[in-house]
Amino acid sequence: ALRGARVTAPGRLCPAGPALLFASTGHGRERGRRFYACSACRDRKDCGFFQWEDEKVSETRLAAREEYNRNHQPSFTHRQNVERYKNFVLLPLPKRRFCQECQQLLLPAEWEKHSDHEFRCDISTAQLKTPSQLLYPLENKKTNAQYLFADRSCQFLLDLIIDLGFRRVLSVGTPRLHEMIQSKASQKEDFRVRSLLLDIDFRYSQFYTEDEFCHYNMFNHYFFGGEAAHETCRKFLYQDNGERVILVTDPPFGGLVEALASSFKKLMAMWKETEKEGCNNQEMPVFWIFPYFFESRILEFFPSFSMMDYQVDYDNHALYKHGKTGRRQSPVRIFTNLTPSMIVLPVEEGYRFCAICQRYVSSGNQHCEICNSCTSKDGRRWKHCALCKKCVKPSWFHCNNCNCCALPNHTCEKADAGCFVCGKAGHKRSTCPSLSRA
């Protein structure tokens, strides 16, 4: 059943941290009944945590749950991984091994324990500086969906951040951007940008210190390192010597927007608390990278955001690639609360500035005089429908039965189904009056 996240539950923990409160959309007696489940895993096979909201849990079951959580913790703490890294870089190249099965840097004393595993040998310093290329991407769409920026998009984002005058980047789920910043900072003395990576992938703790990486779940705003990690993030957000900070995030596309928005608002509030006097009305600058078809959901939680036309592409995603045409173009965009005219897009890639909209748009995004806007979302030229009173995709046609535009081969039927939670018509699940917001 589809689920809608409502509120975190600090007292109900699974290996991914506090569970979220959902509402069942099934049929019968369970429809609308609320339950707690894992915040990060949408497939019960990946995390079996489940508890009805009104369920009383026995002491035996609570003890078993705590034991399960302990057994599913990483083999080493972050601090231990930092010490291991220091010892690893002192090894001569022939003794530097990486276990591909365990995804772990190995010290010579550990070789025998991993003797039947596949190794990568002679791990160079350059490889240690680019862990996103050394580690296997976690591509479970229902859990991690770890797609990594292509060099083109990563370099564009970094150049844009520098041009806009930001010197600190809170990289939430953007490991490739973080490692590009770290690499340039180590190579150039005059490179002023710094980054802090917040990511649920604990494997990165093998390569970064506790001031460079925090184990973090963006679906429930949970710092696995406790108050120490929370303080690391707070200190990083403090703007010292006028250094401006921006939050850049690239969440899993299957993630619940409501849960993500809640966490980002908390990070923005943390930044607000560190602000000096005179900036009370400002909002922390944000780049939220997400598919364009989530635009209405993002704007629901962040009305100050707008969507840029720049197409973000990924190395390890079959479809989200730059240079494709028509419907095969990457649907991933940048949502930001910065003034659109400030976001300069590369003219050599076909982007142009619309003087009326005061923003850069793709070459196929033609200004509609009726809508008084550049209306295309997917890079193709859209057409205006006088009956719908808006621009629609070029492949859509107006259907008199449905009284709206749709694909020619669509099934004509009125949407009689009501709210997923209560079944009544006239509203969506997100605004269902039967669900109380915390």
The number of beta carbons lying within 10 Å of the beta carbon of residue 126 is 9
Does pLDDT of 318 surpass 80? no
Model confidence over 244-259: pLDDT tens digits?
999 999 998 888 899 9
Query: Do residues 217 and 16 make contact, with C-beta atoms less than 8 angstroms apart?
Result: yes
Predicted confidence band of residue 4 (pLDDT cuts 50, 70, 90): very low
CB atoms within 10 A of CB 345: 20
Question: What residues contact residue 417 under an 8 Å CB cut-off, 6+ apart?
Answer: none
Average pLDDT, the chain: 86
Banded model confidence at residue 10, pLDDT cuts 50, 70, 90: very low
Instruction: Give a three-class secondary structure readout of the chain.
Output: CCECCCCEEEEEEECCEEEEEEEECCCHHHCCCEEEECCCCCCCCCCCCEEECCCCCCHHHHHHHHHHHHHCCCCCCHHHHHHHHHHHHCCCHHHCEEECCCCEEECHHHCHHHCCCCEEECCCHHHHHCHHHHCCCCCCCCCCCCCCECHHHHHHHHHHHHHCCEEEEEEECCHHHHHHHHHHHHHCCCCCCEEEEEECCHHHHHCCCCCCEEEEECCCCEECCHHHHHHHHHHHHCCCCCCEEEEEECCCCCCCHHHHHHHHHHHHHHHHHHCCCCCCCCCCCEEEEEEHHHHHHHHHHCCCCEECCCCCCECCCCCCCCCCCHHHCCCEEEEECCCHHHCCCCHHHCCEEECCCCEEECCCCCEECCCCEECCCCCCCCEEECCCCEEECCCCEEECCCCEEECCCCCCCCCCCCCCCCCCCCCCHHHCCCCCCC
Q: Is the pLDDT of residue 340 over 80?
A: yes
pLDDT above 80: residue 64: yes
> For position 309, what pLDDT does the model report?
94
Return the higher-pLDDT residue of 347 and 434. 347
What is the percent of the chain with per-residue pLDDT over 90, rounded to a whole number? 60
- CATH code for residues 151-363: 3.40.50
- Could you read off the pLDDT of 263-309 as tens digits, one per residue? 999 999 999 887 655 566 689 999 999 999 999 999 999 999 999 99
Interior/surface letters 258-276, b for 16+ CB within 10 angstroms, e for the rest:
bbbbbbbeebbebbeeeee
Nearest to 153 by CA among 10, 308, 2: 308
